[in-house]
Amino acid sequence: MTGVSLPIRITLVIVLTWLLSVTATAHGASQTLSILTWEEYISPEVVADFEAQTGIQLRLSFFDSDEMREQILSSQAGQYFDIALMNSQQLNLYADQERLAQLDAAQLPNLQHLDPQLHQTCGGHDLHGVAYSWGTLGLVYRADKVKPQDIASWAKFLSPPAYLRGHLGGHVDLFDSIIPALISLNYPISTSNPLHLREAFEVTKLWLPNVLSLEYIITAAQSDPSFDEIYVALAYSGDQKVLNELTGNDHWQYLLPSEGSLLWIDCFAVMEDSSNTEQAMRFLNFLHLPENAAKNAEYTYTASPNLAALPLTSKEYRTDPLVYLPPHQRARMQLYAPMSIKAINLRSRILSALEKIHASQ
């Protein structure tokens, strides 16, 4: 999501170099907050309003994979970030490693508007994070190229018809890359069973010859010369909106495969090393003013955990079944669950192997 045509590792060097140069003067300045997030994930209007009302400048930096975010936060530049976005699974890992600040509920009164279950998933009793959005993992596809019935299930996506072979997009993610294989095998998405994970690896390896790019589809849209040849890709709800805006047409659509999928919850957390905790909590509270939560929800076209925001959104948005799932689809969704360290390490090795295999094709 960097918007430049460079491999992630080179992009990471540029990000770190930029951060180290700008933070030499910005670090410690009480009127600047550095935020690490996905691109196109906060409404520019909300950013501008916060800066105008508080005098606090927001410096946004972007990652396009969980691995890239981890590389940044674990590097020397990581100490300069005040706030980082992560899903609920990763938030728990960071909290266990004591890398996140404990938040003061008294300074976050707008959390009263949050769905209690989603709030609990991100915040917990120790309040290490604030729920920001939620959605699903599915497929984006070009309606002018693809018959949706041909990709209606994960099994079909993993074994596509001839006209889609060589036109698929994947995603390099520690937790999500092998979810299609795990679900198609009827295994839990958060399994720690090494036999499950190895079988999912074999299924995904057989799928790789059909894959044109493993670059996250939003990044590919901005930087990959072969993007126009990608017809179907692993993606998250809301990505179709970004893709249509980037390409200037309405070709991109989103679907949930019939077997069910991941229901993810994204959380904002304040880093333990931040010297701007008070300002960071002020920003998180600002995000959950209902009118601001409504703007962010429609901008990202993902579901908001802020119940008071929904009446302020458009009817088209709040009745979209791809955003707010009907009960029969919601019942087939899985949340992240705790994984063993051994399983996480095995997933990391699987991901590395898949990247190497694809690069050698």
pLDDT at 304 over 60: yes
Cα–Cα distance, 105 to 284 (Å, whole number)? 11
Per-residue pLDDT tens over the stretch 310-358: 999 999 999 999 899 999 898 999 999 888 889 999 999 999 999 999 9
Residue 271 pLDDT level (bands cut at 50, 70, 90) = very high
- pLDDT category at 5 given cuts 50, 70, 90 is very low
DSSP 256-317: --TT-EEEEEEEEEEBTT-S-HHHHHHHHHHHTSHHHHHHHHHHHTSB-SBTTTGGGS-HHH
List the beta bridge partners of residue 224.
Answer: none
Amino acid identity of residue 223, one-letter, is S
Q: Is the pLDDT of residue 14 over 60?
A: no
**Predicted TM-score (pTM) of this structure:** 0.84
54-58, 162-166, 222-226: range with lowest mean pLDDT? 222-226
Asked whether the domain spanning 135-262+334-359 has the same topology as the one spanning 8-133+265-323, the reply is yes
Q: Are 61 and 15 in contact (CB under 8 A)?
A: yes
Where does 8-133+265-323 sit in CATH, by number?
3.40.190.10
pLDDT beyond 90 at 74: no
Judge whether 332 and 259 are in contact, CB under 8 Å: yes
Instruction: Give the pLDDT band (50/70/90) at residue 125.
Output: low
Q: Contact, 140 vs 254, CB < 8 A?
A: yes
Q: Is the pLDDT of residue 30 over 60?
A: no
Classify 101 as helix, strand or coil: coil
Residue range 143-154: mean pLDDT, rounded = 98
Q: Who wins on pLDDT, 69 or 54? A: 54
Listed in sequence order, the residues at least 6 apart from 222 whose beta carbon sits closer than 8 Å to its beta carbon are 1, 2, 3, 4, 246
How far is the C-alpha of 348 from the C-alpha of 354, rounded, in Å?
Answer: 10
Q: Please give the class, per CATH, of domain 135-262+334-359.
A: alpha beta
pLDDT band at 78 (very low <50, low <70, confident <90, very high): confident
pLDDT band (50, 70, 90) for residue 29: very low
What residues form DSSP beta bridges with 138?
Answer: 235
pLDDT value of position 40: 87
How sure is the predictor about 26, in pLDDT bands with cuts at 50, 70 and 90?
A: very low
Q: What is the mean pLDDT of the chain?
A: 90
**Helix, strand, coil tally for the chain in percent (to 5):** 50, 15, 35
> Quick check: helix, strand or coil at residue 345?
helix
Residue % of the chain over a pLDDT of 90: 75
Q: What is the pLDDT of residue 19?
A: 52
CA gap 84, 95 in Å, rounded: 13
One-character DSSP codes across 11-48: HHHHHHHHHHHHHHHHTT-TTEEEEEE-TT-S-HHHHH
**Cβ–Cβ under 8 Å, residues 102 and 41:** no
Q: What is the mean pLDDT of residues 99-123?
A: 93
Rg of the chain, C-alpha, whole Å: 20
Beta bridge partners of 134: 265, 303
Contact present, 193 and 203 (Cβ < 8 Å):
no
The per-residue pLDDT for range 150-193, each reduced to its tens digit, is: 999 999 999 999 999 999 999 998 899 999 999 999 999 999 99
At residue 221, the 3 state secondary structure works out as helix
Backbone angles phi and psi of 91, in degrees to 5: -60, -45
Helix axes 290-300, 44-54, angle to 10 degrees: 150
Surface-to-core class of residue 30, CB atoms within 10 Å of its CB (0-12 exposed, 13-18 middle, 19+ buried): exposed
Q: Is the pLDDT of residue 1 over 60?
A: no
Alpha carbon of residue 361 to chain centroid? 27
Report CA-CA distances (Å) from 195 to 186, 203, 259, 278: 13, 12, 21, 46
* Structural domain boundaries in the chain: 8-133+265-323, 135-262+334-359
pLDDT of 7 over the 50 cut: no
